[in-house]
Amino acid sequence: MARIGLVAHDDKKDELVAWAKTNRDKLALHELWGTGTTGARINEGTGLSVTRLLSGPLGGDAQLGAMIAEGRLDALVFFQDPLTAMPHDVDIKSLNRLATLYNILFAPNHKTADAVLAAL
C-alpha cells in the first residue's frame, strides 16, 4: 500500500475528481491524503477515504511537503494550473521542490498521474 498525496488547483479540481473516479478501484488500495477542499471533493465524488489536511493556502501544501521530507508520502498527484497566478506560489514551489529532492513519484497532470498509479 502506497501513501499518496492528492492536490489540485481550483481550476483543476474537477479534473482530479474525474481522474479519481476513473481510477477509484486502484486508489482504494492505497492510503490517500489530500489538502482540505481537494480531499473533500474527492471523497464526495468517489466515496474514497481521504485523510484531509488544511486547505493548500492555509498550510496544507506545507503539511504535504513535511510528509515528503519525513518519508511519510510515496507519491504526489498535484494537478496544477500553469496559467493562473497563485497567492501561495512559494508553498507550491516548495512542494514541487521537495517531491523532486526526495525522489518520490510526482504527477502534475492527468497523463503523468496515470503513469504514477501504474507504477504503484
Of the residues 11, 14, 25, 61, which is catalytic? 61
Residue 25 catalytic? no
CB 78 within 8 A of CB 95: yes
**Cα 18 → chain centroid:** 14
Straight-line distance from the first to the last Cα atom of the chain, in angstroms, rounded to the nearest whole number: 8
- By DSSP bridging, strand 3-8 and strand 31-34 are parallel
Catalytic residue list = 61
